[in-house]
Amino acid sequence: MRRSVLLAVIVAMPLVAACGAPDAGPVGDVTDASPEVVASPEVTEVVATAAARATDPGWSDGFVLTMNGHDDPTFRPERLVNAFDLFVIGSVIEELPARWTTPDGLRPASLDNEVPHPYTIVTPFVLELGVPDYLRSLTNAVIPLNEQGAAKLAADATQVVILIEGGTVGKDSVVNLPAEPLMPGQSILIGLLDPQSIEPDPAFEHQFVTDAGPGWWGLTRFFLQDDGMATFYDQTLPAKEMVSRILDELARKTSGR
């Protein structure tokens, strides 16, 4: 079971509920070690903070959870290929409405005890798969990292739905810091986890189905630029070098070296 990966990335600290103004949300990303290139986060600490607890159990003034992640932005391909089920490359074409991951999509009955696990707010994004010209000699848009990734998303898929923890539903918000938000028009390389590889209980399958199809947890992401560079926060590196090193590490993993 790989549930521990997601918890390290997204949850990690107990919830303290907040009412009214913001004060608590999810985290950064997962990565691993390589001394040269810089650009992908490793969560070292997650802290959930919140305002004073409201006396109204209905949280009529709104609920806000902000989780803060402290990241080591070092590019570590040997960890990346073991942290996710696959990488995909493409362009963000649509942001879908945020929703609670409860069965009915509504606010959980107990915010104190059920947020951020097992329930949280996610914002789905639709990614149209495609590779920039400067990467086409290296890879396809779908890069499976294990059997789970290869089985759940076909190599000829044209779109994938990415679930990013965080968003606003009515007066309720989950805020993910310091993760950089996705927006339509961005070209990205992103590490994905199949929700069922983290939470295999069929009771949780409803959390990850959207009108555009089943969703994948979107974690470490690199923003691809027209000039062939990739950025992560204020870090910049050549996209071809980054992808080549991920593929080289994947080949070593596959060969058992």
Whichever domain contains 166, its CATH number is: 2.40.50.120
Q: How many domains does the chain have?
A: 1
Q: What is the pLDDT of residue 252?
A: 94
The pTM of this model reads: 0.74
Q: Is the dihedral of CA 59, 61, 67, 68 positive or negative?
A: negative
DSSP, residue by residue, 11-32? --S-----BSS-----------
Peptide bond between residue 116 and the one before it cis (omega within 30 degrees of 0): yes
In DSSP terms, 168 is beta-bridged to 173
For the beta carbon of residue 58, count every other beta carbon within 10 angstroms: 9
CA 149/CA 86 separation, integer angstroms: 5
What pLDDT does residue 89 have? 98
Query: What is the residue whose two structure tokens read 């947890």?
Result: 217
Give me 158's structure tokens.
């044209």
At residue 162, the pLDDT reads: 95
Q: Torsions phi, psi of 231, nearest 5?
A: -125, 145
**Which tokens sit at 60?**
């009529």
Taking the chain (257 residues) in runs of 10, the rounded mean pLDDT of each run is 36 37 40 41 39 47 82 81 94 95 85 85 95 96 92 87 93 84 94 76 59 86 96 87 96 87
The pLDDT value recorded for residue 176 is: 83
Give the structural domain span for 107. Answer: 3-255
Confidence (pLDDT) at 207 = 56
- pLDDT of 199: 57
Do 53 and 17 meet the contact criterion of CB atoms below 8 Å apart? yes
Handedness of CA 189, 201, 176, 121 (dihedral sign): positive
Structure tokens at 75: 């590019």
So what's the pLDDT on residue 257? 67
